[in-house]
Chain A
Amino acid sequence: MLSPEFGHFCLVLALVVSGAQIILPMVGLLRDDARLIRFAEPLQHLASMAIFISFASLVYAFIVSDFSVQLVASHSHSLKPMIYKITGSWGNHEGSLLLWIVILGLFGMLFVVRETASRLKTLTLMVMGGITLAFLAFSLFTSNPFTRLSPAPPDGRGLNPVLQDIGLALHPPMLYLGYVGLSVAFALAIAGLITGEVSKNWARITRFWVVIAWSALTAGIALGSWWAYYELGWGGWWFWDPVENASLMPWLAATALLHSVIVVEKRQQMVSWTLLMAITAFSLSLVGTFIVRSGLLTSVHSFASDPARGIFILFILLGAVGLPLFLYAFRAGSLTKGSDYALLSRETGLIINNYILVVSTFIVLIGTFYPLALELFTGAKITVGAPYFDATFNPVMGIGILFMAIGPLLVWRRGMVGSARPALLLSAAVTGIAAIILMASSGISVAGIAGIALTLWLALSIGGDMLFRLRPWQAGMGARLRLPATQWGMWLAHFGMVIFLIGALASALFEQENVVRVNKGTEIALGNETVIFDGVEERIGPNYVTETALLRLFDRDGKLIDGLYPEKRFYPAERQTTTEAAIRTRLSGDHYAVLGDGSAESGYTLRLYHKPLVSWIWFGAVMMAMGGLVALYRRPQRAQKASLQAEQGLREAE
């Protein structure tokens, strides 16, 4: 049943079905023939099912090690653990592209199931059919995962130890869930532009899909960052690399979209802007794909070996971004409405939020592509690295956080939540005093103090907001707790940002590092702790030999806390050496040890870190993602009424 050829057939079938998914409803809409229009939904289901079967048969081929499939032969091996056989099916260009399409199909199917039939839905499905069609064609014609080998080789070639890693296996699907999820909002925006009706209902539908995608994207980026942290072994978690930027840009745009779509839902303002953001967010994720797979910016490992791929994806990009923007240019005017809110209002707050996020997206975009453009026009090569982004992106984000503390305290149309003023004043005062004390008494840089102050300011204002809204000192808090889920989600996500900032700041400002050459018995000071090196032991792993350093970690009172065992592994079959950092993760911070070259005679090089609170970075990111999901929770009708009453009560109290 799940033979590779059947999978291949299903993939081709999906291509044809996706084509029909555009054409039949289009003819139906033009000729006002409901029979044809109705085809959109079953066709989406059919395409999705075909894609699922196709992917399942690819995974199956990996599971049973069917080396007559070229992809399996070159990326799998009979001796691989089963889990990596499975994850190996998307651990390569062709397979990951198919996974991308699978997620596209998944979103299409869920969209059909969740939304009620309307013209908007039909048009959205047509656009999604178009995207699916383009990517299926890309897969089938330039990166076919089902190319066969005959005769089949006795075993596969893919046993690279570096690729056998669970972090590596999990973060692409998560990231794709985010990238592809944005396509729903994209399709909805195009449908909205075509119909010219962008209603409250449109916004409600769009917000759901945007939040799902945004949460997945947040988690995906966090997973990737975490992988780099524990696997690459020098303790960093973000490097402003073009490929990282490619994932950050859609995230920033999606964050902007997430906020602006609320304005559309509640107030019917920022309509055309929101459409633009929806188009931009998905376009940027396509740009990211383009960067990674065309070999333009990650030049050392060029994909140029197959020119068709780069050209194909460029054409997808031109069509998928150019056409909608063209449509936008001509249709957006008719969707713009006048504004009816005061300067001090929730609307203004969200506009500032969008403005900051878009400017920072733009900075990342410029920083990523400027070297390329400059090289083309002048031949000069420059590098735009972390210092540039520290100097431009960080300050802009700082301004953003400044406003992030105030925005949620504003109410629609005009004014502030009554209780906001005392909360803000209090947090401003505390922040100011704290900054002055730090300035006077610590050696932290100005930028560092600014970061700490901003984090404190944000934390205090969120805390103050919660405190004054819930008023735990007054009776009847139970009713007040029943605030709408969106409020709780917002608090959670914003507080996740605080946690993230604390982790990022603490690990950057208070990191302890020590690079030393050690012999057996050497004591190494690491901040308050001491590490004793007890020599290196040779061990034998399942398919590697390893030199394991034995380290004991003592606290300041000389009490043994834990052992650290960084390794240097050698895989004889592949003739590869990898380093495995030893990381002791605690909420208070990570101890991180890496073993370098050396021998018992000359001593070993050791690199030790203590990174305070570093894991908070990823906790924060997870909280943000959770916040998004919480905001989607919809209470049963009755409870919903109660929560609205609670909100009403709040408003009256002001």
Chain B
Amino acid sequence: MARSFTHFLPLLLFACFAVIASIALVMTLSGERKPSELPSALIGKPVPPTELPSLYNPQAFVNIEAATSQPYLVNFFASWCAPCRAEAPALAILAKKIDIIGIAYKDKPQDSQRFLTDYGNPYTAIGSDNEGSAGLNWGVYGVPETYLISADGLIIKRHAGPIDGDILREELLPLIRSLQKQG
């Protein structure tokens, strides 16, 4: 009997599978695809309205609102989080370029304060999210997390995990620069 299309079907299906698996593997190995990284659901959306007591002055409040004149960063950190220490130098560099609002996530204020004395304070304002409710609203799944917000209050990017040299150079700084030029 003649060849029939149906007999090629399995080969075709496997070819699809093989292509996907190969691309995935190559991308994973080259580090382009980071299996543990999650895209934020809030990208392109306005910042969730956030009002937190200020870390150094609990009577005052830190507000994160939609409208600002400048792009800025929001950085979730905690004194109990080891990678937060690792990203301190990168944040110090960033602080020269852009305003950073810090949110101390599920951390006792005195611990956060000591952390900032020890590792430097790159923030223009710091809110204390003791209960982690702001974290929930922002979809934080692990500190440190850094969000880039445009001048019109939209979340442009989320980086989960410590900011290292590569991330700083290749992802954050170019984005910040282009946002600032737009502004």
Give A residues with C-beta under 8 Å from B: 272, 276, 279-280, 283, 287, 290, 294-296, 299-300, 302, 304, 307, 310-311, 314, 317-318, 321-322, 325-326, 328-330, 332-334, 336, 369, 372-373, 375-376, 379-381
Interface centre among A287, A290, A311, A329 (most CB of B within 10 A): A329
Interface residue from B3, B7, B14, B17 paired with A369 (Cβ < 8 Å): B17
Contact A296 B25 (CB under 8 A): yes
- Are B7 and A332 neighbours in the complex by a CB distance under 8 Å? yes
B28 partner, pick from A276, A296, A300, A381, beta carbons under 8 A: A296
Pick from B10, B15, B25, B39: contact of A328, CB below 8 A.
Answer: B10
7 contacts between A and B (CB under 8 A): A287-B17, A299-B35, A328-B11, A329-B8, A330-B7, A372-B24, A381-B38
List residues 96-149 of chain B with CB under 8 A from any CB of chain A.
none
Is there contact, CB below 8 Å, between A333 and B35?
no
Do the beta carbons of B27 and A376 come within 8 Å of each other?
Answer: yes
> Are A314 and B36 closer than 8 Å at their CB atoms?
no
- CB-CB under 8 A from A272, the residues of chain B are 7
Contact of A290 among B1, B10, B21 (CB under 8 A): B21
Structural contact, A334 and B1, CB atoms closer than 8 A: yes
Candidates B10, B22, B36; contact of A276 at CB < 8 Å = B10
Query: Measured between alpha carbons, how far is A321 from B7 in the docked complex, in Å?
Result: 15
Report if B4 contacts A (CB, 8 A): yes
Q: Is the CB of B1 within 8 A of A329?
A: no
Alpha-carbon distance between A84 and B168 when the two chains are bound, in angstroms? 48
Q: Is the beta-carbon distance between B20 and A314 smaller than 8 angstroms?
A: no
CB of A322 within 8 A of CB of B25, answer no
Whether B25 and A375, one on each chain, are in contact in the complex, defined by CB atoms closer than 8 angstroms, is: no
Question: In the bound complex, do residue A295 and residue B28 qualify as a contact, i.e. CB atoms below 8 Å apart?
Answer: yes
Nearest-CB residue, chain B, relative to A302: B35
Closest to B29 in A: A307
Q: Nearest Cβ distance between residue B87 and chain A, in whole angstroms?
A: 21
List the A side residues contacting B2 at CB < 8 Å. Answer: 333
Chain A residues within 8 Å of B93, by CB: none
Interface 1/0 per residue, B18-44 and A, CB below 8 Å: 101111110111000101101100000
B18 touches A317 (CB 8 A): yes
Docked Cα-Cα span, A375 to B17, in Å, equals: 14
Q: Are B33 and A333 in contact (CB under 8 A)?
A: no
In the bound assembly, the distance between CA atoms of A326 and B18 in angstroms comes to 14
* Interfacial residues of chain B within 25-80, with CB under 8 A of chain A in the complex: 25, 27-29, 33, 35-36, 38-39
Pairwise interchain contact B25-A311, C-beta atoms closer than 8 A: yes
Q: A333-B4, A336-B1, A380-B39 are in contact. Are A296 and B10 (CB under 8 A)?
A: no
Q: How far does the Cβ of B9 sit from chain A's closest Cβ, in whole Å? A: 8
Inter-chain contacts of B4 with A (CB < 8 A): 333, 336
Measured between C-beta atoms, what is the minimum distance from B94 to chain A in Å? 25
Q: Is the CB of A333 within 8 A of B7?
A: yes
What CA separation (Å) do A302 and B21 show in the bound complex?
Answer: 15
What's the Cα separation between A158 and B24 when bound, in Å? 33
A299 touches B36 (CB 8 A): yes
In the complex, what residues of A have CB within 8 A of residue B3's CB?
329-330, 333
CB pair A326–B11 under 8 Å, yes or no, is yes
Q: Tell me the bound Cα distance from A372 to B25 in angstroms.
A: 10
Q: Which residue of B lies closest to A380 (CB)?
A: B39
Q: Which residues of B contact A326 (CB under 8 A)?
A: 11
Q: How far is the CB of A385 from chain B (nearest CB, A)?
A: 15
Chain B residues within 8 Å of A379, by CB: 39
Partner of B24 from the list A287, A296, A318, A330 (CB cut-off 8 Å) is: A296
Task: Identify the closest chain B residue to A326 (Cβ).
Answer: B11
B39 near A381: Cβ-Cβ < 8 Å? yes
Q: How far is the CA of A559 from the CA of B75 in the complex (A)?
A: 60
> Chain A residues near B25 (CB, 8 Å)?
294, 296, 310-311, 314
Give the CA-CA distance A614 to B67 in the complex, in Å.
58
Q: A272-B7, A321-B14, A329-B10 are in contact. Are A369 and B20 (CB under 8 A)?
A: yes
> Is there an interface contact between A372 and B20, defined as CB atoms closer than 8 Å?
yes
Complexed CA–CA distance, A380 and B33 (Å)? 12
Residues in B neighbouring A380, C-beta threshold 8 A: 39
CA distance A328 to B1 in the complex (A): 14
Measured CB to CB, the closest approach of chain B to A614, in angstroms, equals 34
Q: How many angstroms between the C-alpha atoms of A280 and B4 in the bound complex?
A: 19
Assess the B7–A375 pair: CB atoms within 8 A.
Answer: no
A321 to B14, CA, bound (A): 8
B29, A325: Cβ atoms closer than 8 Å: no
- The residues of B that contact A307 with a CB separation of less than 8 Å are 29
* CB closest residue in chain A, given B17: A369
List B contacts of A376 (CB < 8 A).
20, 23-24, 27, 33
Contact A300 B7 (CB under 8 A): no
**CA separation between A336 and B23, bound complex, in Å?**
35
